A and B are shown apart, each in its own frame.
Chain A
Amino acid sequence: MRLDADEREFMCSGHAACPGCGAVIALRIFTKAMGENTILVIPASCTGVIVGVYPQSVMRIPVVHAPMPAGASVASGLRAALDMRGDTDTTVVAWAGDGGTFDIGFQALSGAVERNEDFIYVCYDNEAYMNTGIQCSSSTPYGAWTTTTPGQDWKRLRKKNIVEALVAHRIPYVATANIAFPEDLVRKVKKAKSIKGSKFLHIFASCPPGWRIPSEISVKTARMAVQANIFPLYEVEDGVRYTINYKGKQRPVQDYFEVQGRFSHLTAEDFEQIQKMVEEDWELLQRKAGDQAADACIQSSSAKRAIKPNKVF
């Protein structure tokens, strides 16, 4: 597979991640799509370790490590400094985990995107605080075991819908992506790079030790999340224009859940309930994307509601 990205690698070998780490796959593809005029701001997370321990670094682009709540705010200040220096070629990127985005970094992120700071904020989502040992975050999905939702106390709350929270800020560009769909990821990174203002990319990135999966099915597992509509691929422009990017092969949620040890306690009944929840969310999303199309149709003719999302794959 050839990607429409820089031939060069901006991430060297020798990183400190576990085998099959989705965050690494995401970062490698992301930086290839971005190119060399990129600065990464990385709040405390697995990536903060992965990119190297002093005095080594695996990154060929500048990296600024940041406190866990401060990804978006450090990136804001760096952008301001570059502006004052007249450097308009460089893109500032905040690269944070789900904990650093959904939870402790959310206030700073909300503030920064409300100001429409000109940066790309990437949340690579492995659905828990992995760096500190697989604790539950507000991104941890319904049904999951983590070390703070142990045994029969597995998480019985839904995952926070971070994309909709960002969409509600009406920023120019919000998109989901997935390590199993690299072309789609590259396209979205390039699109984000071309837009001024705040861009938010939510990249689904599997974590073999955290999800209790063998490393060789890391990408496959991430792909199944899309196929089961658990993690739909879509983008939202200016807070209103929804485009669903994937409507290929579909699967029941059970396929996705069954391969992961973190869901091993779930029963057939649980799967049924989760399937319903996923369908509800999926329909809601389709309606948002479809309503757009419908509005457009209504304006041009009195045609029926066209609930046909755009298809990329």
Chain B
Amino acid sequence: MKQVLEGNSAVAEAVRLARVQVISAYPITPQSHIVEVLSDYCATGKMDARYLRVESEHSCLASLVGAACGGVRTFTATSSAGLAYMHEMLHWTAGSRLPIVMAEVNRALGAPWNIWSDQTDSLSQRDTGWIQLYCEDGQEVFDTTLQAFRLAEWVNLPVMVVMEGFLLSHTYEPVDIPEQEEVDRFLPPYNPAFKVDTKNPFTVNSIAPPSIYMEIRHDNAVAMDQVPERFDDVEKEFEVLFNRRYGAVEAINCDDAEIILVTSGTITSTARLLLEDLRDRGEKVALLKMKMFRPFPVELVCRALKSAKKVAVIDRNFSSGAGGIFLQEVRAALCNRQDRPLVFGYVVGLGGRDVTKAVLEEIYKATKDGDVPSDKSVWIGLREVKHAIGR
């Protein structure tokens, strides 16, 4: 049934329908509505789950590691500083091969304080071994959260469902919420690969010396490498029941385009509008939406960008000293391909600055007119400021 929900509530509904058994969370704007709704569901019996009201994000993820070792389905949500505070546990979760699902609401990292949308928080955790899926609208947030449990439990890796703060978390949209029975058909009860039990004593995560650590990590790599294929399988199952499908990447008009814009998250929706306009004007332009960031779907990206002359990667995130993070990954994916396109990179919208159609059109023009891409990302829409340190 269609309901008008904010993105945060869409997450909470998916978690309820996924019959999560242990939830642990620590509040942070703009994630807080998710945990408020879920703690209410646990308190009122709308969910048969334990809600752990932990004192920090480190403990939050640590408690879910304990719960997942105990063989139950687990969920948390966080953002920005909270995610950074989890860093040690992010590695630990993936290393333990625990299928924990997290909603990550993108928010800028301080200093200075800023609570608005910026993907640097999740992207700077790219090497922690979590699958990362970026969402564009409320329906995708809901669907991806459900899919995340199926995927995580299939490959025994944790999944981060990433959505932008306010732009998705606090925006109300119609979201189709299925019945419990339908969800149960898609997502069977969790059948853990292992669970700690006194009847069958074993040790979890004892010291692994150099003679075995590499093999354990390689196991992680093999599991991660399967993800694009497994995600496709999950989406096929999902589509049969719910008639919706997203793809690890979505290539729109890429076959005959000269210039392809590469986006993720909500900027994609704006880019879709621009694409229509430009196509109407006869421009040979296309759009590649990146949903999956980890693992980076190299094959799919290269296939989509194959025929283009130029690619413009648009990043609402920034790695100081290296530029936009999607830009780095797209360049790395293409570097060994023949006839690869020129790759231009743009940094936009940091700390929640609005990314309008006009901004994207400026990027398109700059790419079309540019001969050689800059090594660095080009910053769009910078204002003149008087106070600058360290110039």
Chain A residues with CB under 8 Å of chain B are 36-39, 41, 48-49, 51-55, 57, 59-67, 69-70, 72-85, 89-90, 107-108, 110-112, 114-115
Contact = CB atoms under 8 A, between A and B. Distances in A.
A39 B89 contact: no
B308 interface: no
Given A67-B62, A90-B198, A76 B52 contact: yes
B21 interface: yes
Interface residues of B, number: 42
Contacts of A49: 207
B15 interface: no
Nearest to A78: B66
Interface of B: 21-22, 24, 49-50, 52-56, 58-60, 62-72, 74, 88-89, 92, 195-198, 201-209, 212
A111 B54 contact: yes
A74 B64 CA distance: 7
Given A41-B66, A73-B58, A81-B21, A64 B204 contact: yes
Q: Which 5 A-B pairs have the closest CB atoms?
A: A81-B70, A111-B55, A77-B66, A77-B63, A73-B59
A142 B220 CA distance: 47
Given A39-B196, A53-B206, A62-B202, A70 B22 contact: no
Given A53-B208, A55-B212, A84-B21, 7 more contacts: A53-B209, A57-B202, A65-B205, A70-B62, A77-B70, A80-B50, A81-B66
A59 B60 CA distance: 28
A48 B58 contact: no
Contacts of A41: 66
A115 B72 CA distance: 21
26 contacts: A36-B198, A39-B198, A48-B207, A53-B207, A59-B201, A62-B202, A64-B204, A64-B205, A66-B205, A67-B89, A69-B58, A70-B62, A70-B92, A73-B59, A73-B60, A73-B62, A76-B63, A77-B63, A77-B69, A77-B74, A81-B69, A82-B70, A83-B50, A84-B70, A114-B55, A115-B53
A63 B203 contact: yes
A73 B68 CA distance: 13
Given A38-B198, A54-B206, A81 B55 contact: no
B198 A65 contact: no
B55 A61 contact: no
A85 B55 contact: no
Contacts of A90: 198
A194 B52 CA distance: 23
A195 B44 CA distance: 28
B66 A65 contact: no
Given A81-B72, A85-B70, A111-B55, A54 B207 contact: yes
B58 A108 contact: yes
A52 B203 CA distance: 9
A49 B205 CA distance: 11
Name the residue in A37, A55, A60, A111 with the highest tally of chain B Cβ atoms < 10 Å from its Cβ.
A111
Given A53-B209, A73-B59, A111-B59, A78 B88 contact: no
Nearest to B49: A84
Given A54-B212, A61-B198, A77-B52, A84 B22 contact: yes
Given A70-B89, A80-B22, A80-B50, A62 B56 contact: no
A73 B72 contact: no
Nearest to A69: B58
Contact of A74 (B21, B63, B208, B209): B63
Contacts of A69: 58, 62, 88
B220 to A, nearest CB: 15
A78 B207 CA distance: 20
Name the residue in B52, B56, B203 with the highest tally of chain A Cβ atoms < 10 Å from its Cβ.
B203
Contacts of A65: 203-207
Name the residue in A39, A48, A67, A74 with the highest tally of chain B Cβ atoms < 10 Å from its Cβ.
A74
Contact of A59 (B22, B63, B203): B203
Nearest to B22: A80
A311 B58 CA distance: 42
Contacts of B52: 76-77, 80, 115
B65 A62 contact: no
Contacts of B65: 66, 70, 74, 77
B21 A108 contact: no
B166 to A, nearest CB: 29
A75 B203 contact: no
Nearest to A75: B66
Contact of A73 (B54, B197, B204, B207): B54
B71 A85 contact: yes
A64 B70 CA distance: 10
Contact of B62 (A52, A63, A74): A74
A52 B202 CA distance: 12
B18 to A, nearest CB: 14
A17 to B, nearest CB: 14
Contacts of B207: 48-49, 52-54, 65
A73 B206 contact: no
Name the residue in B21, B62, B74 with the highest tally of chain A Cβ atoms < 10 Å from its Cβ.
B62
A210 B44 CA distance: 52
Contacts of B70: 77-78, 80-82, 84-85
A82 B198 CA distance: 11
Contacts of A54: 206-209, 212
B56 A111 contact: yes
A37 B199 CA distance: 8
A180 B331 CA distance: 65
B21 A62 contact: no
A81 B22 contact: yes
Given A37-B198, A70-B89, A77 B22 contact: yes
A4 B240 CA distance: 62
A90 B199 CA distance: 10
Contacts of A63: 203-204, 206
A51 B206 contact: yes
A53 to B, nearest CB: 5
Contacts of A67: 62, 88-89, 92
